[in-house]
Amino acid sequence: MTDAPNPVLCAIDTPAMEMAVKLTGELARWVGGFKLGLEFFGANGPEGIRAIARTGAPICLDLKLHDIPNTVAGAVKALVPLQPALITVHASGGRAMLAAAAAAAKEAANSHDLPRPRLLGVTVMTSLDEADLRDIGQDPLPGSQVDRLAFLCQDAGLDGVVCSALEIERLRRRFGRSFLLMVPGVRPDWTTQDDQKRITTPAEARRLGADYLVIGRPITRATDPAAAAKRIAKELEAAQV
């Protein structure tokens, strides 16, 4: 057995507030938190976030902010009162934007006397292949682009990055134990792959060094979502990771 907190962030990708509140209420004891993205936020706004936060589970606000530094800083300040544990920003927004986001999180948390949300930089979207990266003028080797952006995130004062399972081991070695790694594309071996191409099991992702495992549909679309979340939690416990 391990005392590690549950690393699973369940992705609640729906605009339907009532369904999300019911689902998160059932799941809260079996997951480490909920990841709420643009679909849920666009439909339900801050009130929707507050409703899910009432489950008591930590929230990752996955809004992938990317704008000029002043605007991103303002957005982070506006989000801090919602008390998210994690907020995502695009690493490719550049050093000044990342530093402004990190400073804004600190400042707003201090001024509201709230815990500081951890900021994670989105490195390379796994939906982009080498040709896509070339199209937008980026290093066509996703690995080296991820390394470069992860370094920038750490240097600019972010707490960690979002990366694919392929990158966990290398980033963990390079950036140390305290740099947070959040990993989507995680699938237990008893569920379907959906549209995820490169998948890793929860235990394997943890063994490689991931801090947070983003798992959506294997839980939310299961016949019994709470049972699926419980099974994942028990498997992680049994693997002692």
Interface residue list for ligand C5P (CB under 6 A): 11, 13, 37, 125-126, 184-185, 194, 196, 214-217
Residue with smaller CB distance to ligand C5P, 11 or 52:
11
CA–CA distance, 214 with 205 (Å, rounded to integer):
10
Residue with smaller CB distance to ligand C5P, 108 or 208:
208
106 tagged catalytic? no
Q: What is the closest distance, in whole angstroms, from the C-beta atom of residue 219 to ligand C5P in the complex?
A: 8
Which of 64, 106, 230, 234 is catalytic? The answer is 64
Q: What is the closest distance, in whole angstroms, from the C-beta atom of residue 1 to ligand C5P in the complex?
A: 26
CA–CA distance, 219 with 168 (Å, rounded to integer):
23
Residue by residue, DSSP assigns 184-236 as: --B--TTS--TT-SS-B-HHHHHHHT-SEEEE-HHHHTSSSHHHHHHHHHHHH
Residue with smaller CB distance to ligand C5P, 76 or 124:
124
Using CB atoms, what's the residue nearest to ligand C5P?
A: 216
Cβ(80)–Cβ(117) below 8 Å: yes
Q: What is the closest distance, in whole angstroms, from the C-beta atom of residue 163 to ligand C5P in the complex?
A: 8
Residue with smaller CB distance to ligand C5P, 77 or 118:
118
Residues designated as active site = 64
